[in-house]
Chains A and B, each alone.
Chain A
């Protein structure tokens, strides 16, 4: 192990980690938005658009991110759409994550009893009011663990971004290996930096999950630790 080499490499890895994290965050936000829109289309059974959402979800879940990125980066320019590496990465990650988030919303919605919606309707609430005030809050709470798992999954998926010429963590590691042949050090740093990115997210998710599981609504003694 060349400690000196490791120390000198850290700033470059850190820079790549910041880029990875930034793109992952944007991709996760995009995924959440797409997932929510799919949830709306499904819940309100919007004709045509609902079917389009189902096709999208199957397409997105059953193709690898790498292939999706190749399509965006190398395929689209053929029809005159040229996207930068970063845009490709965010769009690709959102395209992939959107379907996972949509399924998370779906499982949450299915966990809310139909009778809850009927109770809202019987009070004269509109279908939209029932959705936003009664079904969605309960569904989102149920789905929190799945959202957490999806977020971690999406951060890990960023490791293929180097395929579209982005200087992410994997790209930097490959670069070092190619230039210096210090494979052990480069890979060790790669593992450490991914752990630095993902472990805190995992820890927060585990914490929230535990609270959701035991606390439910109205059990303050556990939530606030009283």
Chain B
């Protein structure tokens, strides 16, 4: 295994009883600082893939290594592993009974037992970076979708994760809000954050990705540099998928 590899996945399998496989023999690895975008039609297993990495879904077979350490072996360790793997969800999942500041500080104080004063400062800085300084004492329901998702990104970053998993984080947003959220992700990528991103925003995928993987029916069918993937995809399935995003005038 190479030194730089932060995440390595071997022969990952996932199936539910009596159903066809959700994930089939996934082999994948990521280097530190790399941004990988996962594309594919809905139901292809992209989200399940991310959830397996964050131990939210039990897997049926295979191995996942984080920094060379097998994370599927010791279930007792799941808290420590999840602290190193941040996750942002499609529907934000901010805690509605807490203010934005409480949301982003809860886990650092409770799980990592960090110093309160420093945590407040750090939260302030991060919230300012995503343009939410004014919203520290607001509750999630007082925020727009885009603001909520930016707060959710800060909440994940507050844990200082080694890898960030983004699961269709703009799928529930209005087009104008998509931009403000993706801008934050682009800045994170520029700062060297390692990210695995599931998205349906093709332009964004092209801009942010170091590498694109294309999944279909639970398997990785294609893996390419974004410029190659978008201009000349190797598989027919990927071609058909990309064609769906082109609209041509009829007649």
B63 CB → nearest A CB, Å? 21
A121 at the interface (CB under 8 A from B): yes
The residue that A119 contacts in the complex, of B93, B99, B141, B159, with Cβ under 8 A, is B93
The residue that B95 contacts in the complex, of A119, A122, A126, with Cβ under 8 A, is A119
Selected interface stretch from A20-28, A130-138, A184-192? A130-138
How far does the alpha carbon of A83 sit from the alpha carbon of B60 in the complex, in Å? 56
**Across the interface, which residues of B come within 8 angstroms of A123, CB to CB?**
82-83, 106-107, 111, 155-156, 159
**Across the interface, which residues of B come within 8 angstroms of A138, CB to CB?**
95-97
Count CB-based A-B contacts (< 8 Å). 78
* Known contacts A124-B80, A125-B107, A125-B111; A115/B97 CB under 8 A: no
Selected interface stretch from A5-13, A163-171, A174-182, A211-219? A211-219
Question: Which residue in chain A gives the minimum CB-CB distance to B108?
Answer: A123
Q: Is B111 a contact partner of A129 (Cβ separation < 8 A)? A: yes
Kindly state the interface size class of chain A when it binds its partner: 20 to 34
Q: Is A133 a contact partner of B110 (Cβ separation < 8 A)? A: yes
A141 at the interface (CB under 8 A from B): yes
Contact residues of B between 123 and 182, Cβ < 8 Å to A: 138-142, 155-156, 159
Which A residues have a C-beta under 8 Å from some C-beta of B? 115-116, 118-126, 129, 133-134, 137-138, 141, 216-219
Q: Can you name 30 A-B residue pairings with CB atoms under 8 Å?
A: A116-B95, A118-B56, A119-B93, A119-B94, A119-B95, A121-B56, A122-B54, A122-B56, A123-B82, A123-B83, A123-B111, A123-B155, A123-B156, A123-B159, A124-B79, A124-B111, A125-B79, A125-B107, A125-B110, A126-B111, A129-B110, A137-B97, A138-B95, A216-B96, A216-B141, A217-B96, A217-B98, A218-B99, A218-B140, A218-B142
